[in-house]
Amino acid sequence: MAQIAVLDQETIDQIAAGEVVERPASVVKELVENAIDADSTAVTVEVKQGGITFIRITDNGCGIGKEQLSLAFLRHATSKLKKMQDLWAIGSLGFRGEALSSIAAVAQVEMITKQREDLTGVRYCIDGGREQSCDEVGAPDGTTILVRNLFYNTPARAKFLKTPATEGNYITGYMEQLALSHPQISFKYILNGQLRFQTAGNGKLKEIIYQIYGRDITEELVEIGCRKEGMDIHGYIGKPVVSRGNRNFENYYVNGRYVKDRILMKAIEESYRGFLMQHQYPFTCLFLELDGGKVDVNVHPSKMEVRFSDQENIYQSVKQVLTDALRGAVLVPKVQLEKESKSARSKPSEAQMPEPFEEKRREEYLHRLENESKKQEASNTAGETKPTFSAFRENTENYHIKKPVPQQQSSNDGGKVQQISLFDADEHFPFAGKDRAAYRIIGQLFDTYWLIECGDELYIIDQHAAHEKVLYEQMIKSHKRREIFSQMVSPPIVIQPSMQERQLLETHIELFAEYGFEVEEFGLDAYCIRSVPHNLYGIATDRLFMELLSECSGSLEKNDSRELIGEKIATMACKAAVKGNNRMSVPEMQRLIDELLTLDNPYQCPHGRPTIIKMSKTELEKKFRRIV
Ligand SMILES: Nc1ncnc2c1ncn2[C@@H]1O[C@H](COP(=O)(O)OP(=O)(O)O)[C@@H](O)[C@H]1O
Ligand SMILES: [Mg+2]
Model confidence band, residue 409 (pLDDT cutoffs 50, 70, 90): very low
Most confident of 87-96, 281-290, 292-301, 360-369: 281-290
pLDDT tens-digit map of 280-319: 899 999 999 998 888 888 777 777 888 998 999 999 999 9
Residue 193 has pLDDT above 50, yes or no: yes
The answer to whether the CB of 20 is under 6 A from ligand 1 is: no
Residue % of the chain over a pLDDT of 70: 81
The answer to whether the CB of 72 is under 6 A from ligand 1 is: yes
Model confidence band, residue 353 (pLDDT cutoffs 50, 70, 90): very low
Using CA atoms, how far apart are residues 591 and 478, in angstroms rounded to an integer? 18
- Whether the Cβ atoms of residue 327 and residue 600 lie closer than 8 Å to each other: yes
The answer to whether the CB of 143 is under 6 A from ligand 1 is: yes
- CA-CA-CA-CA torsion sign (259, 89, 268, 218): negative
Between residues 274 and 282, the one the model is more confident about: 282
- Whether the Cβ atoms of residue 224 and residue 253 lie closer than 8 Å to each other: no
Summarize the confidence of residues 507-523 as an average pLDDT: 87
The answer to whether the CB of 176 is under 6 A from ligand 1 is: no
Q: What is the pLDDT of residue 428?
A: 41
Residue 272 has pLDDT above 60, yes or no: yes
Using CA atoms, how far apart are residues 624 and 628, in angstroms rounded to an integer? 9
Residue 522 has pLDDT above 90, yes or no: no
pLDDT tens-digit map of 448-504: 899 988 888 888 999 888 888 888 888 888 888 888 888 888 888 888 887 778 888
The answer to whether the CB of 114 is under 6 A from ligand 1 is: no
Give the domain ranges of the chain.
9-197, 215-328, 361-395, 426-628
Residue 92 has φ and ψ, to the nearest 5°, of -105, 165
Q: For the domain 215-328, what is the CATH code?
A: 3.30.230.10
Model confidence band, residue 595 (pLDDT cutoffs 50, 70, 90): confident
- Give the least confident one: 106-120, 355-369, 599-613: 355-369
Q: What is the pLDDT of residue 246?
A: 86
Ligand 1 pocket test, candidate residues 71, 100, 117, most atoms within 8 A of CB = 100
Q: Can you give the three-state secondary structure of 611-624, one letter per residue?
A: CEEEEEHHHHHHHC
The answer to whether the CB of 61 is under 6 A from ligand 1 is: yes
Summarize the confidence of residues 53-69 as an average pLDDT: 95
Domain 426-628 has CATH 3.30.1540.20: yes
The answer to whether the CB of 98 is under 6 A from ligand 1 is: yes
- Counting ligands in written order, which one lies closest to the CA of residue 116? 1
Distance 94 CA to ligand 2 centre (A): 4
Q: What is the pLDDT of residue 373?
A: 57
Model confidence band, residue 602 (pLDDT cutoffs 50, 70, 90): confident
Q: What is the pLDDT of residue 431?
A: 61
Q: What is the pLDDT of residue 46?
A: 97
Distance 51 CA to ligand 1 centre (A): 20
- Atom 1 of ligand 1 has which residue's CA nearest to it? 35
Residue 346 has pLDDT above 50, yes or no: no
Most confident of 66-75, 502-511, 601-610: 66-75
Q: 254: Cβ–Cβ under 8 A, 6 or more apart, which residues? A: 261, 264, 288, 290, 295, 297, 306
Q: What is the CATH class of 9-197?
A: alpha beta
Model confidence band, residue 560 (pLDDT cutoffs 50, 70, 90): low
The answer to whether the CB of 57 is under 6 A from ligand 1 is: no
pLDDT tens-digit map of 36-50: 999 999 999 999 999
Distance 284 CA to ligand 2 centre (A): 27
The answer to whether the CB of 38 is under 6 A from ligand 1 is: yes
- Counting ligands in written order, which one lies closest to the CA of residue 64? 1
Residue 198 has pLDDT above 90, yes or no: yes
- Atom 25 of ligand 1 has which residue's CA nearest to it? 78
Residue 161 has pLDDT above 90, yes or no: yes
Atom of ligand 1 nearest to the CA of 81: 23
